[in-house]
Amino acid sequence: MSVFMVAWTTFMTLLVLALGSTVDDRKPNTVFVAILIRNKAHTLPYFFSALESLDYPKDRMHLWIRSDHNIDNSIQILNKWLKTSGTAYHSVDVKVDNSSTKYDDESGPAHWPHSRFQHIVQLRESALRTARESWSDYIWFLDCDAFIINKSTLRHLIKKKYPVVAPMLKSDGLYSNFWCGMTDNYYYKRTSDYAPIVERKTKGCYQVPMIHSSVLIDLRLQITNYLTFNHSLLSNYMGPVDDIIIFAMSANFSGIPLHICNDEMYGFITIPLEKDSSLEMDISQLTNIKLEITVDNEPLQISSNLSDLDLPSALIDNMGLDNVFVINLARRTERRNRMHYCLNELGLNATFIEATDGRALTETDLEFMGVRLMPGYKDPYYKRPITKGEIGCFMSHYRIWAKTTYEGLDEVLVLEDDARFEPYFRFKLQMVLNELRRLKVAWDLVYIGRKSLNDNNESWLENSKLLVRPGYSYWTLGYLLSGRGAKKLLNANPLKKLLPVDEFLPIMFNQHPQTEWLEQFEERNLIALSASPLLIYPIRYTSDDGYVSDTEDSVTVQMTNDKLATEQKEIKEDL
């Protein structure tokens, strides 16, 4: 070694000693990752891609993988991923059992008989024992229907310095990977503090009685030696043979706190299947999660080494409709990309309509289009004139009504680009369409997303459990439109007395509270219905972080001496 190198090493050593914890040149902790795989061919490409995207050093991670009782090609996908990515990790221990595709007392792939629970308990206990014997610093139990999208998840969790900790994982509902309460007989109990944690209305780390699906244990702490999945080691345990419950109670009996952290957005998890569900239902669950992820995050990605897999995909069609229209501003490319992705996942072939950009409209444009505002119009809540954005929104819908009429279309679906799809959207939409055809009811417009402003004035359609007759409603997020309905909207000549589109529609089915506005339209015979429950909601509400409105956040327009005049101030209302 040169004199320079000796001097440099000595200097760095002295510097570390002098600064103490300020500089830490120690290697990262070793992490033993325990993964169990069964019939997850549809999730594995996304799961493994997320795993390998973590920013934690792979040479400090050991993979312990077990797979058995598969009826899909989970093992082929596992082997393909290991061949291309497995060598990046410190070591990999894989055991695959092809001897059986089901348990003897199992009724289907989603059924959890005693024998299955017992097998999982043995596997998890084996992983925990092996991690301890290999002197791993941490063990991370990670299920392959958990998608870790935060690349720094492991680093964040280790920094918490908890004995046992889990990142909170969101689903497409209130389901998550923790419990806030447990009954006396060891089962789930809903508590008032659960929803605020899941919805991240309160953020931080919370002590809870149960965590699962993504659990990190600090094996360096002596107290964690008491953790187990083996109920026979717990003298006071009288509960079921269930791996997550046994583990939770071993922590409880040993005084080991379990923490769930939602201080960051860590990832997502699918909702467990019901006993009699098929694997096809699990694929639908995956679609639900993939759509939900896009609300605040980039879509789930598949790494290049798995991109050539033949993954389940929906057939692309119009669900028997003549067209599916999506309204999108040219400058909102992120919304367009998201809607393209979501509709492709849902198997819907859509026509994107470039929205009329109210921000760019001039008084000359409005006069050229023949736009005249409804005299005396003021927003019902904020008493302001109509905005340019609201005019642009109306014109965008108007052009679809005109296109529907011009092309002679019978039934279309109209969507705005900020729609958040409910789980099983396609199935639910098909149910609504089937209901309309079964009842043979006349209809012009069917809301699938709206804000009801008068629930008391709504009634169920006779013989239907899916359709109501709507009262005064806001939003034009999404609706079915018949050819006859489009003609009625056009025949009302709305450009000559224009007001916001979500005020105009209730007028047309005679459910608007403003009598003076109703009287300006003689024919108010639009036959309107609404799906109930609704099928879509906005991506964000006005109180949410990141809320943006292209209709409300724009300048207002008003009539002055029979001419359009623009009020030169920006409006940011909270509807």
pLDDT tens sequence for the chain (575 residues): 555 555 555 565 555 555 554 556 889 999 999 999 999 999 999 999 999 999 999 999 999 999 999 999 999 999 999 999 999 999 999 999 999 999 999 999 999 999 999 999 999 999 999 999 999 999 999 999 999 999 999 999 999 999 999 999 999 999 999 999 999 989 899 999 999 999 999 999 999 999 999 999 999 999 999 999 999 999 989 999 999 999 999 999 999 999 999 999 999 999 999 999 999 999 999 999 999 999 999 999 999 889 888 887 888 999 999 999 999 999 999 999 999 999 999 999 999 999 999 999 998 999 999 999 999 899 998 889 999 999 999 999 999 999 999 999 999 999 999 999 999 999 999 999 999 999 999 999 999 999 999 888 899 999 999 999 999 999 999 999 999 999 999 999 999 999 999 999 999 999 999 999 999 999 999 999 999 999 999 998 766 665 566 666 668 877 553 555 554 343 333 32
Q: Does domain 31-284 have CATH number 3.90.550.10?
A: yes
C-beta of residue 218 within 8 angstroms of C-beta of residue 184 = no
Q: What is the pTM of this model?
A: 0.90
pLDDT at position 34, please?
A: 98
pLDDT at position 312, please?
A: 79
Q: Does domain 323-538 have CATH number 1.10.3430?
A: no
pLDDT at position 563, please?
A: 53
Residues of the chain with CATH 3.90.550.10: 31-284
- What residues contact residue 526 under an 8 Å CB cut-off, 6+ apart? 444, 445, 485, 488, 489, 505, 508, 509
- What residues contact residue 389 under an 8 Å CB cut-off, 6+ apart? 358, 359, 549, 550, 551, 552, 553, 554
Strand pairing category for 214-218 and 138-142: antiparallel
- Torsion (CA) 356, 360, 366, 372 in degrees, nearest 10: 80
pLDDT at position 5, please?
A: 56
**How many whole angstroms separate alpha carbon 478 and alpha carbon 487?**
18
